[in-house]
Amino acid sequence: MSDTAPPKGRKTAAFRPRKPAKPAAEVSAASPVAAPVPAPVPSAPPAAAAPAQTTPAQVTLDQVTSVQMPPAPVAAEPVVPRVIRPAPSGPRPLQVLAVASEVFPLIKTGGLADVVGGLPPALAHHGVEVRTLVPGYPSVLRALEGTTVVAEYGYFFGAFCKLLAGRAAGLDLFVLEAPQLFWREGNPYSAPDGQPWPDNPVRFAALAHMGYLISRGDFGPYVPDVLHVHDWQAALAPAYLHYGGRTKPRSVLTIHNLAFQGQFSRDLLYAIGLPGHAYSMDGVEYYGGIGYLKAGIRFADRVTTVSPRYAAEICQPGAGMGLDGTLRQKGLALSGIVNGIDVDTWNPADDPALAASYTADTLELRARNKAALEGRFNLEAGDGPLIGMITRLSWQKGMDIVIETLPSIIAAGCRVVVLGTGDAPLEAGLAKAAAAYPGKIGVFAGYDENLAHLVQGGADAILVPSRFEPCGLTQLYGLRYGCLPIVSRVGGLFDTVIDANAAAREQGVATGIQFEPVTREALEAAIARFVALYADTSAWRAMQRQAMSLDLSWTRRAGAYAALFRSLVEVDSA
């Protein structure tokens, strides 16, 4: 079953919007963001709200723009989030409300979920308590425990919904349960045919607006000190704060990938609860439409992205993808913080997915994982260098250059395994290469978590030749497992891998190989360096041990977020 599909036996309401209504006048500045009118709190949605169908009707743009925002929310009995409290003698923990469209391990399409799920437990070590607001996908609702209904709405962005509070996977959650918006086949953003849901702008405006309502203290005693929103799906929340006349809580936007910006028709302005004067170059206007990510950048007090190098890159034309000017205006309010990883899940010393667990002191045991990997991919057995890739097959990830370079890589004496799926032409090109080099190239078209662990535990190097990479997690897993990264010199790859040049090797800090630009010639040169280093067993082992000694944990990385959050609160209290 899809994580976003309706549970068996549960039906969702068809979207029946009202006819488009032209606003009589622009919403006043005093109360520009209208909140929904709650229905009397029933024990279940009215029967009429659930006709016999398993997914909501596809919504056209005309239908989406007709969603109206009635006025003022009423909470059910106030709910204080269930969080682990410090000893009474300790300082008051900083309260942070995170808002995101996915969270690991409940719902995941990419690295965003890993960050949203990994950061809260790590921040707890730094005196920060996080409550995370996520959509009520069925996979989230199935996992939720200790559930309390905070509020119910008969009409919230065109849907009946509840705000729930509870706990799942060790995380304290708010959940926006709106079956009409979030119970669907496919993934959180797209239908099974791969096309984006046409009402995505309304679905995620609803999520951001609920984050705004919580952060302004609408639901009892819980009022966060900081609102932390992730990517375009939550980025309207700081705009709602601004146009709602709120200066608190302070807000932080984290950009995980600037390529996904949430750009939609200007006709949605009133439908998503923004006033007419918000549509300006200094507001949410973006190339003739509404830019959700642009709005977040414009109105968040601080903007972070997931590596310092990427933060610098996106301020430049080209890499800034149309937002470089807005980002440059943030000045010192823009920074980069490298992602961490779950070092318990990704632990070569205790990994059930491996044929043999190992440490930096028992690297010889990796040979058993290499043999297991060769078997899984039907490769010729041998001691020669084995390169792994765990990737989305896309232009961004440099897969076209990899396919072009594969003959040279094989000629250099390497074998290659690829775990991933993506663009059809690249999948076809990779399959053709594998057929041309049986026993040398192995491909698994899809994703398998256990196999990903085996690739990291059995391959000698992990290849990440991205054209741009905000942070990247694959190379971090590689460092953790002594599977040394071969990476392009961009974004988080540059920030996390130290190139094995002569100076770095002499100082004992080298952890991989960097190259630029992303071309066949540069990649061939990087592979040649890899083969030479691999042949020097002593040097290679030293690099592996150095890589495995790094502290890549979220606990370490979270300190930078905690310091950022505190700096915002201290400004208010100064």
Q: Is the pTM of this model over 0.85?
A: no
Q: What average pLDDT does range 148-176 have in this prediction? A: 96
Pairing of strands 441-445, 415-420: parallel
Give the helix/strand (H/E) hosting 368.
helix 366-376
Cis peptide before 45 (omega within 30 of 0): no
Q: What average pLDDT does range 194-201 have in this prediction? A: 94
- Supply the DSSP symbol for 481: H
What are the structural domain ranges in the chain? 60-80+100-340+558-573, 348-550
3-class DSSP state of 27: coil
3-class DSSP state of 349: helix
Q: By C-alpha distance, which of 463, 517, 509 is closest to 490?
A: 517
Provide the percentage of residues in the chain whose pLDDT is more than 90. 80
Superfamily of domain 348-550: Glycogen Phosphorylase B; (3.40.50.2000)
Report CA torsion sign: 140, 142, 148, 154.
positive
- Per residue in 244-266, pLDDT (tens digit) is 998 899 999 999 999 999 999 99
227: Cα separation from own chain's centroid: 17
- Per residue in 395-427, pLDDT (tens digit) is 999 999 999 999 999 999 999 999 999 999 999
The string of DSSP codes covering 208-254 is HHHHHHHHTT-STT---SEEEEEHHHHTHHHHHHHHTT---SEEEEE
Domains 60-80+100-340+558-573 and 348-550 share a fold: yes
Query: Which strands sit side by side in the sheet containing 302-305, from one edge to the other?
Result: 145-156, 159-168, 171-177, 128-135, 94-99, 226-230, 250-255, 302-305, 334-336
Task: Determine the Cα–Cα distance for residues 494 and 508; give it in Å rounded to an integer.
Answer: 18
Give the helix/strand (H/E) hosting 485.
strand 484-488
Angle formed by the axes of helices 424-436 and 399-411, nearest 10°: 10
- Joined together, the tokens standing for residue 81 give 């989030």
Task: Determine the Cα–Cα distance for residues 39 and 35; give it in Å rounded to an integer.
Answer: 13
The more confidently predicted of residues 49 and 214 is: 214
pLDDT category of residue 6 using cuts at 50, 70 and 90: low
CATH 3.40.50.2000 at 60-80+100-340+558-573, yes or no: yes
Q: By C-alpha distance, which of 363, 379, 380, 341 is closest to 492?
A: 341
Q: By C-alpha distance, which of 561, 570, 564 is closest to 123?
A: 561
Is the pLDDT at 49 greater than 90, yes or no? no
- Per residue in 87-131, pLDDT (tens digit) is 444 578 999 999 999 999 999 988 899 999 999 999 999 999 999
Round the average pLDDT of the chain to a whole number and report it: 87
Burial class of residue 559 in the structure, from the number of CB atoms within 10 Å of its CB (0-12 exposed, 13-18 middle, 19+ buried)? middle
Task: Determine the Cα–Cα distance for residues 574 and 571; give it in Å rounded to an integer.
Answer: 5
Task: Determine the Cα–Cα distance for residues 281 and 152; give it in Å rounded to an integer.
Answer: 36
pLDDT category of residue 372 using cuts at 50, 70 and 90: very high
Task: Determine the Cα–Cα distance for residues 395 and 397; give it in Å rounded to an integer.
Answer: 5
Query: What are the DSSP E strand ranges found in 342-414?
Result: 386-390
Query: Which strands sit side by side in the sheet containing 289-291, from one edge to the other?
Result: 263-264, 289-291, 285-286
- Supply the DSSP symbol for 350: G
Query: Any known ligand binding at 108?
Result: yes
The more confidently predicted of residues 209 and 247 is: 209
- Per residue in 228-249, pLDDT (tens digit) is 999 999 999 999 999 999 889 9
The confidence score (pLDDT) of residue 574 equals: 56
The confidence score (pLDDT) of residue 85 equals: 36
The CA angle 22-23-28, to the nearest 5 degrees, is: 165
The confidence score (pLDDT) of residue 47 equals: 33
Q: Which residues pair with 388 in a beta bridge?
A: 417, 462
Give the helix/strand (H/E) hosting 162.
strand 159-168
- Per residue in 509-557, pLDDT (tens digit) is 999 999 999 999 999 999 999 999 999 999 999 999 999 999 999 999 9
- Joined together, the tokens standing for residue 166 give 């509870």
